[in-house]
A and B are shown apart, each in its own frame.
Chain A
Amino acid sequence: MEKHVVVILPHPDDESFGAAGTIAEFRSQGIPVTYLCGTLGEMGRNMGNPPFANRETLPEIRKQELKNACDVLDMDLQMLGYRDKTIEFEDRTEVANHLQRILEDVKPSLVITHYPGYAVHPDHNALGAAAIQAVEQMEEDHRPVVWAQAFARGFQEKLGNPDVINDVEAYFETKMEAILCHQSQAGGIIGKLKDYKELGAEVLQEAKTRFGKEVFFIWKFQ
């Protein structure tokens, strides 16, 4: 059983789409979960549909949405203060050192992050790489296990089958509630899911298939 889980992802909503079921499952077992959220998604282009945010109000709105989602998932939140779309341009080792200090303090047994190079958004890839470097920099017997999430096109051909396949259908409603906290992001998939309870059985099943499994690769350190 895990002692403490730390989730390291760059954007408000990454946690809900990518790992909400897994987080909810850990919380149901009484395992503490801390989310280190890299940015506030300040440069997101979704402003609500119809738009209710603008470039200058978006950060505070997304910060509140993030807090709401963390409440739904009953996890602690630390905001890392980087700026959306810029993490790959930061000094990788500085970011890794920053993360390492937090990890040494929280002492998680498991870290969940994005799989560098296979997570589509440059912020995902950069923060995932920094998180893995942070763990690598720790003394070997203090290192948490790292679960890395990949979803780039064709990732399975390159990486093989994921090591961890979490069936989180039992937490589907919690996951939907967490996703729906991110109302400003409703221009995308969230808009279609807004009334998920009233969706026909077929659409609901499709959503369950899409969001009902969360898969991860266990990072192999040299």
Chain B
Amino acid sequence: MKPIQIELVQQWLDKFTNQTVYIHVETTNGAYASHLDEKAYNVGAYVRNVQITYNQAKIVGEGNAYRIGLKTSNGWIYAEGLTDWTIHEGSKILLAGHDREGRLMVALQISETPFDY
């Protein structure tokens, strides 16, 4: 992945507007957080290969961390802390936020076809 280029990402988000797409949304601080630090909590959530249609999408942010909001007819999908992006297999947009050690903290991915696995 490479650092987010806001204009290019916005173009890709627009391409998927008003189409049925598969999404992957995830956030995690790892399964060992409370094992390594007694005072920490394990938190995480992920949604994979859920189909949605959004009618509006925007990437906002400055520096190196960005937020994305996808507006649907009756709700929202939101991700914060995105730092890097890539196009996977020519057609899927992958966005992720990594910490200083390169660990994934948050992800948002959109595709017209289902994600593998």
Contact = CB atoms under 8 A, between A and B. Distances in A.
B109 A187 contact: no
Interface stretch (A19-27, A45-53, A140-148, A166-174): A45-53
A151 to B, nearest CB: 9
Interface stretch (B4-12, B50-58, B64-72, B93-101): B93-101
Interface in A8-47: 40, 42-43, 45-47
Given A47-B102, A51-B102, A56 B31 contact: no
A21 B98 CA distance: 33
Contact of B103 (A42, A47, A54, A122): A47
B116 A55 contact: no
B46 interface: yes
A55 B32 CA distance: 19
B88 A43 contact: no
Given A42-B117, A45-B28, A55 B104 contact: yes
B31 A55 contact: no
Interface string A106-134: 00000000000000111100000000000
A92 to B, nearest CB: 19
B117 A59 contact: yes
B15 to A, nearest CB: 18
Nearest to B109: A55
Interface centre among A40, A83, A120 (most CB of B within 10 A): A120
B62 interface: no
B101 A187 contact: yes
B116 A152 contact: no
A100 to B, nearest CB: 25
A189 to B, nearest CB: 11
A54 B102 contact: no
A153 B101 contact: no
Interface centre among B38, B103, B117 (most CB of A within 10 A): B117
Nearest to A151: B35
Contacts of B115: 56
A201 to B, nearest CB: 26
B28 A46 contact: no
A85 interface: yes
Nearest to B42: A122
22 contacts: A43-B26, A43-B28, A45-B29, A45-B104, A46-B104, A47-B102, A49-B102, A51-B1, A51-B104, A54-B1, A54-B96, A55-B26, A55-B94, A59-B117, A85-B31, A120-B31, A122-B31, A123-B31, A153-B35, A187-B103, A188-B101, A191-B101
9 closest A-B pairs by beta carbon, nearest first, are A49-B102, A51-B102, A187-B101, A45-B104, A45-B103, A121-B31, A120-B35, A56-B88, A187-B103
Interface of B: 1, 24, 26, 28-32, 35, 38, 46, 84, 86, 88-89, 92, 94, 96, 98, 101-105, 107, 109, 115-117
